């Protein structure tokens, strides 16, 4: 393995200063970064370990009703925080649908946001990959691309962002809090992951040395708690990334949708929020036909990037399912198989 | 446990009991030392550099950069690799394979070792390998059926015949009321034992100690020794624990040979531990097959002809063709049966034996085809199988040594509730609206034995030690074999010390082919009996013994005492007999091997019936097995607890074959794109909700002295078909390619 410097800063300011040099990566739990380093796809010169920085692991309700989650909060701790899960059941469900129990115990909020695509050519240093080395080409275009993007891709890169957690976050209008050499700033999560266009190597809105410090859910995000669901389609019942997924949120009054949110996962280089679909749903009744129209609208622009046309239809269907289940009401307890269609219509523990 | 047989009285009673595995506490506390846990003083680390192309030549490597990296001790390439005493491109014996040990600059598959870096630390060796940055003259990779070279191999599997059959297929088809032709494709699968291949080599003069997990400990020493020109006895191979083998840890591979070579050249111990990714290529796999079944059926639903042809993939440079069509030789009665094979050469590593080689892929196709035939005849799949039940082995006409398959069908169907299964597909939904289907498959596996030998020593204090080089891959050999040895000695297992798992012991044969318990077990059984006979000899010829005059056939051995068979009031303890004879111990030896006469006279097969329930989301196509029940008849069960684990493990592998496992090659580069556990899916707990293995009593006096058939592999067979047939029953979609994907079933849904 390539030798690298390891730095353990005592403060956020020290961390940012240490990360100013090119070739630096922040190390959180390392569940993604270390795998890539071992495989040779990522070869940083120095790691700045942020796991012991003070003040980054809180889950706090702010005065305005917003919820701030520190970047070092572990995925499992967040999902199992009772107050958090009550207010944002779908975020908890999405988190618990991801990876394995061991990984969730380690993985951090910031690491989940910042995790790399699972495109296998990205992870294989012998493959040509524009995202890993700009201008090298994209082996996925002619390669195995069944799970690649159907929205927002470019000729230069057809990778998807694999996170489950980010899908409901995008729908709920979460904000990413960032600290950097030039001070602090905020970016809407929806805009945080960049579509590839001409520069697939630019994966997120972060500039060199910038650190994600927290994610904030706006005050109104908890208003969807009664009618929301996350649905994730995959061949293996657990411990698999989504082929496609959808997070659906409704506010319902007298059988009429007063506000809706819909975001898709596994379809693009960012969690894909569809405002068109949300508009269509607003003011509509809780009917399958409306959900189908909304889902179709959400995928109107979709086109296969390779051998993956089936994902378009699957994304449409998983959106309908998520909307139907959201309409039926959030289950009172987290399903035994979070995010799985196989437990969505069952009693909470059926099929466990 | 109704499924255990009483042992003959003189053998005591511990065999047949569900003892927990003796090595369990060591494993769960982390105290068990696996090969890579060894760190002899002064040890170096070896890391192979692997090829990124699938065919061509290495034209350059930056050896200087690798050598210059701090900590790197030596870099081996074809230019400086010291000579070996055996050509890596020459096969050795029946099981040896051609391998890559830097004999030249050619690349035959992606992932092939092309250089070997040895360093003071693992990190330095890894970086040294990365710094080599090889350059290649690449040729197009041939990793698809279309690009591979079709050929006719001489043999299939390990020396098996290409074609076996009886009767006239074309006549059978011509006479048939219904004819059916159906094709299947099975994927590349990799063994992926939990413990990666590892080896620590230490030389002391011309003596060599190897710590490496191995399934054929004594045989492997002979193979390793040949590459170094030393007698096999000079090698002490230690393999106390294996974290799984599944067929991939029996014969040496190139990287292991290079590790031993480096240890000799550098005069220091060297360790190799492959990464998960490095296991995709050089250590064997189950290769793809393309199978065609042609069947003729008469008006009553009986087969008139069954032709099973399988095309198996192998590498460009060696031959291992899955004997997949062999699955059709022994299961269903038909006046005409033909099983044939050919091969396709691809730019992949050479495949090898992987849990149920041949049967797993072959049974997957056969059992789906049989269901298609049942459908054509409008018959319930179980009734169809019973209508075509083989009372004698179809091709050979031999009687089965024992065959309780009918009882397996009956018990499995009853436990599953098969009787209420609607005939047509798409009839069942569960309360949540999921399409629900029920399917079944017949399980079958042959019962090979390997030559094995063992020793048993009864000591002055009445305890014993038994010895054979058995391999515990996690299947529980240490426990089951100790039970057999102890039973033969008339002792409790905790009075018997079991020495096993290294090569300075009598050869226990191969832990493979589901034959380890039968082979090594029989050797231990005979050794124990021999030791008891010697003890009886001492007692019955000693006038001072209460057993005087009984003759050594006239005694029973039980709980550390010998009893006169006809008068149990006459008895004496082992310790007393030895003390009076003034002997520190008596020694017995024993052998295990197939009795040629019984193999000549009888068809020797284990059987089973597997039933599966599958749920399919009617819109999304997500599939999940919700219930699986297998009933198996495999002769005497030495330890029902361990046997159950083997059955369940096999059934889960069948589920995995049906729904998950597949190594995917990039068709242009030939590299495997999912060469790790994140990408190469095996089932997780959530995929395996409810499973049951029922053991059906089978008393087999012919298969071997112990009546043991073996349980290690049969669970996979039948299970793939059961899951696939349940998918059909749920959806109306008939799987012909494994693993079944969401997009496969989707068109049949709304
Ligand atoms: C086998 C497997 C299966 C998985 N399945 C799923 C799944 O189904 N769904 C899913 O959503 N995820 C899945 N994951 C991904 C997992 O969620 C991520 O690996 C994890 O969230 C990363 O968090 P980490 O703390 O380990 O990040 P690290 O590995 O430490 O870091 C990841 C990246 O983020 C950067 N980074 C980390 N923190 C910060 C910060 N605060 N500011 C700026 N940059 C930062 C690092 O530099 C690095 O580039 C899976 C992972 C594995 C290995
Ligand atoms: S899809 Fe993107 S990440 Fe994958 S190989 Fe192409 S450029 Fe690289």
pLDDT digit string (tens) for A233-289?
Answer: 999 999 999 999 999 999 999 999 999 999 999 999 999 999 999 999 999 999 999
What is the average pLDDT across B582-607?
A: 97
| Phi (first) and psi of residue A155, to 5 degrees | -60, -20
Please check whether residue B667 touches A, CB under 8 A: yes
Compute, in angstroms, the gap from residue A99 CA to the centroid of ligand 1: 10
Domain assignment present for B715: yes
Domain assignment present for B684: yes
DSSP string, B664-716: -B-TTT--BTT-STTTS----GGG---EEEEEPP---SSS-TT-B---SSTTT
Please check whether residue B678 touches A, CB under 8 A: yes
CA distance B530 to B518: 18
Please check whether residue B94 touches A, CB under 8 A: no
Q: What is the pLDDT of residue A332?
A: 87
pLDDT digit string (tens) for B469-494?
Answer: 999 999 999 999 999 999 999 999 99
Domain assignment present for B480: yes
Closest ligand to the CA of A15? 1
pLDDT digit string (tens) for B232-243?
Answer: 999 999 999 999
Please check whether residue B742 touches A, CB under 8 A: yes
Residue owning the nearest CA to atom 5 of ligand 1:
A99
Compute, in angstroms, the gap from residue A320 CA to the centroid of ligand 2: 29
B615/B579 same-domain check? no
Chain B residues close to A346, C-beta within 8 Å: 431-432
Contact A124 B746 (CB under 8 A): no
Q: What is the pLDDT of residue B6?
A: 40
pLDDT digit string (tens) for B252-272?
Answer: 999 999 999 999 999 999 999
Compute, in angstroms, the gap from residue A121 CA to the centroid of ligand 2: 6
What is the average pLDDT across B173-195?
A: 97
Please check whether residue B624 touches A, CB under 8 A: yes
Q: Where residue B486 sits, what CATH number does that domain have?
A: 3.30.365.10
B426/B464 same-domain check? no
Q: Please, what sign has the CA dihedral across residues B164, B170, B171, B177?
A: positive
Whether B58 has a pLDDT exceeding 60, the answer reads: yes
B584/B608 same-domain check? no
Which CATH class name applies to A222-328?
alpha beta
Q: What is the pLDDT of residue B14?
A: 63
Annotated active-site positions of B, please?
Answer: 713
CA distance A39 to B585: 57
Domain assignment present for B319: no
Q: The whole model's pTM is what?
A: 0.97
Q: What is the pLDDT of residue B12?
A: 39
In 3D space, the residue among A324, A197, A216 whose CA is nearest the CA of residue A260 turns out to be A324
B393/B374 same-domain check? yes
Chain B: closest CA distance from residue A126 (Å): 6
Q: Which residues pair with A214 in a beta bridge?
A: A70, A177
B414/B477 same-domain check? no
Which range marks the domain in which residue B399 is found? 358-448+600-749
pLDDT digit string (tens) for B82-100?
Answer: 999 999 999 998 888 999 9
CB atoms within 10 A of CB B85: 10
B468/B479 same-domain check? yes
Domain assignment present for B343: no
Chain A residues close to B677, C-beta within 8 Å: none
Residues A69-86 as b/e (b if ≥16 CB within 10 A, e otherwise) read bbbbbbbbbbbebeebbe
Residue B448 confidence class, pLDDT cut points 50, 70, 90:
very high
Please check whether residue B689 touches A, CB under 8 A: yes
Domain assignment present for B348: no
Shortest CB distance from A321 goes to which of B619, B669, B741? B619
Domain assignment present for B202: no
Q: In the sheet where B464-467 sits, what is the strand order? A: B496-499, B464-467, B452-459, B585-592
Closest atom of ligand 2 to A145 CA is: 1
Shortest CB distance from B684 goes to which of A236, A313, A351? A236
Q: Which residues are near ligand 2 (CB < 6 Å)? A: A 117, 119, 121-122, 129-131, 138-140, 157-159, 200
Mutation site for B-interface testing, chosen from A237, A240, A292, A311 by largest number of B Cβ within 10 Å: A237
B699/B617 same-domain check? yes
Contact B622 A233 (CB under 8 A): yes
pLDDT digit string (tens) for B411-428?
Answer: 999 999 999 999 999 999
Chain B residues close to A39, C-beta within 8 Å: 277
B675/B731 same-domain check? yes
B679/B604 same-domain check? yes
Contact A1 B127 (CB under 8 A): yes
Please check whether residue A121 touches B, CB under 8 A: yes
Closest ligand to the CA of A159? 2
Please check whether residue A40 touches B, CB under 8 A: yes
State which of B566, B593, B620 marks the end of a domain: B593
The residue extents of the domains of chain A are: 222-328
B622/B738 same-domain check? yes
pLDDT digit string (tens) for A177-190?
Answer: 999 999 999 999 99
Residue A342 confidence class, pLDDT cut points 50, 70, 90:
confident
Mutation site for B-interface testing, chosen from A38, A107, A144, A338 by largest number of B Cβ within 10 Å: A144
State which of B593, B609, B633 marks the end of a domain: B593
User: Contact A274/A301 with Cβ under 8 angstroms?
Assistant: no
Contact A143 B622 (CB under 8 A): no
B609/B706 same-domain check? yes
State which of B576, B593, B610 marks the end of a domain: B593
Percent of chain B with pLDDT over 70: 98
For residues A240 and B689, the model is more confident at A240
B567/B474 same-domain check? yes
What is the average pLDDT across B157-183?
A: 97
Closest ligand to the CA of A160? 2
Note which residues in 117-136 of chain B have CB less than 8 A from chain A.
122-123, 126-127, 130
What is the average pLDDT across B432-455?
A: 96
Total domains, chain B:
2
Chain B residues close to A243, C-beta within 8 Å: 742
Closest ligand to the CA of A192? 1
Domain assignment present for B717: yes
Mutation site for B-interface testing, chosen from A47, A119, A143 by largest number of B Cβ within 10 Å: A143
CB atoms within 10 A of CB A275: 13
């Amino acid at each position: 393995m390539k030798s690298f410097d390891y730095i353990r800063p005592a403060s956020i300011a020290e961390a940012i200063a240490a990360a100013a040099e090119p070739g630096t990566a922040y190390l959180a739990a390392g569940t993604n970064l270390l795998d890539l380093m071992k495989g040779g796809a990522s070869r940083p010169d120095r790691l700045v370990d942020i796991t012991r920085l003070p003040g980054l692991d809180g889950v706090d309700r702010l005065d305005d009703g917003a919820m701030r989650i520190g970047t070092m909060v572990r995925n499992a701790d967040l999902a199992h925080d009772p107050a958090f899960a009550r207010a944002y059941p779908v975020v908890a469900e999405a988190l618990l649908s991801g990876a394995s129990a061991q990984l969730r115990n380690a993985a951090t909020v910031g690491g989940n946001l910042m995790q790399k695509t699972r495109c296998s050519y990205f992870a294989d240093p012998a493959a040509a990959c524009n995202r890993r080395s700009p201008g090298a080409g994209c082996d996925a275009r002619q390669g195995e691309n069944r799970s690649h993007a159907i929205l927002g891709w470019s000729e230069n890169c057809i990778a998807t962002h694999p996170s489950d957690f980010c899908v409901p976050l995008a729908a709920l209008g979460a904000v990413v809090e960032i600290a950097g050499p030039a001070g602090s700033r905020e970016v809407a999560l929806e805009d945080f992951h960049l579509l590839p266009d001409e520069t697939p190597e630019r994966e997120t809105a972060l500039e060199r040395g910038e650190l994600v410090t927290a994610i904030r859910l706006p005050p109104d995000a908890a208003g969807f708690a009664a009618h929301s669901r996350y649905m994730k389609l995959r061949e293996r019942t657990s411990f698999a990334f989504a082929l496609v997924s959808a997070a659906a949120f409704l506010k319902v009054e007298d059988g009429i949708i007063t506000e809706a949110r819909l975001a898709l996962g596994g379809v693009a280089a960012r969690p894909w929020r569809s405002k068109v679909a949300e508009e269509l749903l607003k003011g509509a009744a809780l009917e399958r036909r409306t959900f189908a129209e909304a889902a179709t609208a959400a995928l109107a622009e979709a086109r296969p990037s390779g051998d993956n046309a089936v994902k378009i239809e699957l994304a449409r269907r998983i959106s309908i399912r998520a909307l139907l289940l959201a309409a039926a009401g959030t289950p009172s307890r987290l399903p035994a198989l979070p995010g799985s269609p196989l437990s969505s219509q069952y009693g909470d523990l059926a099929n466990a | 446990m109704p499924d255990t047989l009483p042992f003959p009285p003189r053998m005591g009673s511990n065999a047949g009991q569900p003892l927990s595995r003796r090595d369990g506490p060591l494993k769960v506390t982390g105290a068990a030392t696996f090969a890579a846990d060894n760190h002899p003083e002064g040890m170096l680390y070896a890391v192979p550099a692997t090829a990124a192309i699938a065919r061509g030549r290495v034209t350059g490597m930056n050896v200087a950069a690798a050598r210059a990296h701090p900590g790197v001790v030596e870099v081996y390439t074809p230019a400086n690799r010291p000579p070996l005493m055996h050509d890596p491109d020459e096969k050795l014996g029946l099981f040896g394979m051609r391998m890559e040990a830097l004999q030249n600059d050619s690349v035959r598959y992606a992932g092939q070792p092309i250089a070997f870096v040895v360093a003071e630390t693992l990190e330095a060796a890894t970086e040294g390998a990365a710094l080599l940055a090889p350059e290649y003259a690449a040729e197009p990779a041939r990793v698809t059926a279309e690009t591979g070279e079709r050929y006719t191999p001489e043999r299939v599997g390990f020396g098996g015949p290409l074609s076996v059959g009886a009767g006239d297929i074309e006549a059978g088809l011509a006479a048939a009321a219904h004819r059916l032709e159906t094709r299947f494709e099975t994927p590349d699968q990799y063994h992926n034992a939990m413990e990666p291949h590892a080896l620590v080599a230490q030389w002391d003069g011309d003596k060599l100690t190897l710590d490496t997990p191995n399934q054929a400990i004594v045989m492997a020493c002979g193979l390793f020794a040949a590459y170094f020109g030393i007698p096999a006895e000079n090698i002490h191979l230690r393999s106390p624990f294996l974290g799984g083998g599944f067929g991939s840890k029996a014969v040496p591979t190139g990287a292991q040979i290079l590790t031993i070579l480096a240890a000799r050249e550098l005069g220091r111990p060297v360790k190799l531990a492959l990464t998960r990714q490095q296991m995709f290529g050089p250590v064997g796999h189950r290769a793809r097959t393309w199978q065609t079944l042609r069947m003729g059926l008469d008006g009553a639903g009986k087969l008139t002809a069954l032709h099973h042809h399988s095309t198996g993939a192998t590498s460009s440079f060696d031959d291992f063709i899955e004997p997949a069509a062999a699955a059709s030789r022994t299961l269903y009665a038909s006046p005409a049966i033909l099983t044939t094979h050919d091969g396709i050469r691809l730019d992949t590593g050479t495949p090898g034996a992987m849990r149920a080689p041949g049967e797993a892929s072959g049974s997957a196709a056969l059992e789906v085809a049989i269901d298609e035939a049942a459908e054509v005849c409008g018959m319930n799949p179980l009734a169809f199988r019973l209508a075509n039940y083989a009372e004698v082995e179809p091709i050979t006409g031999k009687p089965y040594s024992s065959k309780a398959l009918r009882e397996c069908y009956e018990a499995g169907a009853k436990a599953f509730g098969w009787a209420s299964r609607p005939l047509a597909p798409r009839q069942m939904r569960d309360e949540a609206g999921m399409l629900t289907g029920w399917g079944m498959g017949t399980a079958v596996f042959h019962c090979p034995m390997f030559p094995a030998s063992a020793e048993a020593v009864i000591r002055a204090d009445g305890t014993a030690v038994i010895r054979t080089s058995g391999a515990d891959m996690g299947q529980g050999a240490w426990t089951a074999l100790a039970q057999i040895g102890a039973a033969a000695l008339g002792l409790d297992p905790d009075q018997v010390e079991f020495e096993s798992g290294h090569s300075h012991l009598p050869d226990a044969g191969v832990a493979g082919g589901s034959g380890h318990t039968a082979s090594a077990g029989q050797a231990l059984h005979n050794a124990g009996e021999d030791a008891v006979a010697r003890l009886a000899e001492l007692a019955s010829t000693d006038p001072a013994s209460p057993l005087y005059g009984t003759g050594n056939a006239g005694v029973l051995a039980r709980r550390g005492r010998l009893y006169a068979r006809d008068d149990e009031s006459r008895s004496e303890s082992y310790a007393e007999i030895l003390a009076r004879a003034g002997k520190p111990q008596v020694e017995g030896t024993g052998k295990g091997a197939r009795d040629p006469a019984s193999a000549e006279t009888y068809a020797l097969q284990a059987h089973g019936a597997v039933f599966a329930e599958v749920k399919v989301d009617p819109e999304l196509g997500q599939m999940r097995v919700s219930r699986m029940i297998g009933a198996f008849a495999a002769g005497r069960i030495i330890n029902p607890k361990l046997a159950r684990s083997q059955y369940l493990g096999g059934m889960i592998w069948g589920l995995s074959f049906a729904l998950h496992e597949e190594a995917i090659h990039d068709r242009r580069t030939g590299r495997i794109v999912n060469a790790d556990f994140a990408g190469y899916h095996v089932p997780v707990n959530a995929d395996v909700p409810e499973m049951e293995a029922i053991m059906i009593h089978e008393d087999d006096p012919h298969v071997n002295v112990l009546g043991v058939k073996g349980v290690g592999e049969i669970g996979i067979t039948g299970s793939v078909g059961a899951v696939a047939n349940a998918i059909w029953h749920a959806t109306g979609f008939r799987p012909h390619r494994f693993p079944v994907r969401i997009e496969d079933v989707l068109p049949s849904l709304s």
